[in-house]
Chains A and B, each alone.
Chain A
Amino acid sequence: MSKEIVLTEANWESEVINAKGLVMVDFWAPWCGPCRMVSPVIDEIADEIDDIVVGKLNTDEQPSIASRYGIMSIPTVMFFKGGKVVDQIIGAAPKESYVEKIKLLQ
């Protein structure tokens, strides 16, 4: 079973860049309503889908990572493989969209 990881500058390298397999990162902030709507969906996915690393990055607390990946709109969910961004979903989307994307990328 997958479990969510709180991502920071300290674990970004080990958890995202050097991870084996697919990593899904939810870029969010507490003041963003749509992010808070998406958040429980991401939680569900972390619980339900195996063989995926699910991480959450608070753009308020980790602005440098957000800017490194050119985040200009949240929620943005980025998918990483072998340390590289392979796909992303900008804006709040229904659960199905995230699940379909994961199936395609896995």
Chain B
Amino acid sequence: MLQLAIIGGGVAGLSAAIYAARYGIECKIFEQKSIGGQIVVSANVENYPGVPGPISGFDLIQNFEKQVKNLNIPTEYKQCVNIQKNSEGKILSFDDGSRVEAKAVIIATGASPRRLNAKNEAKFIGRGISFCATCDGFFFKGKNVAVVGGGDSAIDEALFLSKIVNKIYIIHRRDQLRASKILQEKAFSTTNIEFLWSTVVESVNGDNKVESLTLKSTKDGSVSELKIDGVFIYIGLIPASKDFCPPVLDDKQGYIISDSKMATNIEGIFVAGDVRLSPLKQLITAAADGAIAADSANRYLMGLE
């Protein structure tokens, strides 16, 4: 039986693995897609202490991965779809039908971008709708695009796009931004960014690719049409917890509830990173969560002996 299974190979999972390996715990990372998680789409990371950067999310995570490889921590590429507890430990089931038994588990599955829920959205993903400005911004060189959202990610990506595209409309359902002051000030002083306040996207329109958006005012319900070539969506995250909750307890939004030691309601199951209910979702908090979760797993495993 494996001592520790870490589900998810993003910043939280990799940090947990590094700490666990240094405690001498036999652990394995299970990742459904590829190592890295959400940070891979970031063009510039400038707020990870000790790494003055600018460094791309990809390059930063490569360093995490190098550290994990140096510690000989194995990774298996498959998606965990269920965790069951038995008297011995936990049984993890995977999408390929396989099972793994582990004494302790750290859930570090992260989150994925929330969709608009607008009409025709699915049809236009990759045809003008994007969740990654770094990846796709270049295809909209000199064109007009919309960014939906009002948090740090939305404004950060709008600023990135402002150097490539002709004009950006930031569509936000509220009348003020949630983004940090420094980003707000940058956005307000960028001449090709225009704000459409108290507005939501009703539908995405076009033939083969995005041509316009139907917008609706959240104040008076009035409807308007905006001609654009692309839409970048940054309206928050959906935690990747549905396969584990219940029995693992979440806050009804899907964020897994833990104590300060990253312990969930189930003994021997810990949680770290963006999938955890926490006040801040950043690289540094994901890494810290991972370290604490590994420490708690270590204490738990020692208690079993």
**Which residues of A pack against B, CB within 8 Å?**
29, 31-38, 41, 59-60, 66-67, 70-76, 90-96
Contacts and interface: CB of A to CB of B under 8 A. Distances in A.
Contacts of A95: 77
A37 B40 contact: yes
Q: Which 7 residue pairs across A and B have the least CB separation, nearest first?
A: A90-B126, A33-B58, A33-B40, A73-B126, A32-B135, A37-B34, A72-B139
B36 A37 contact: yes
Contact of B138 (A60, A91, A92): A60
A20 to B, nearest CB: 28
A94 B34 contact: yes
24 contacts: A31-B56, A31-B134, A33-B40, A33-B57, A33-B132, A34-B41, A36-B40, A37-B33, A70-B208, A70-B209, A72-B128, A72-B139, A73-B126, A73-B132, A73-B135, A74-B135, A90-B125, A91-B125, A91-B126, A92-B40, A93-B33, A94-B34, A94-B77, A96-B77
Given A41-B34, A73-B127, 20 more contacts: A31-B135, A32-B134, A33-B56, A33-B58, A33-B132, A34-B132, A34-B135, A35-B135, A36-B58, A37-B35, A37-B40, A70-B127, A70-B209, A71-B139, A72-B128, A76-B126, A90-B125, A92-B34, A92-B40, A94-B33
B43 interface: yes
B149 to A, nearest CB: 18
B32 interface: yes
B42 A33 contact: yes
Interface size class of B (residues with CB under 8 A): 20 to 34
Interface of B: 32-36, 39-43, 56-58, 77, 125-128, 130, 132, 134-136, 138-140, 208-209, 230
Nearest to B39: A33
A67 B36 CA distance: 29
Contacts of A73: 125-127, 130, 132, 135-136, 139
A72 B42 CA distance: 18
Contacts of B127: 70, 72-73
Nearest to A39: B34
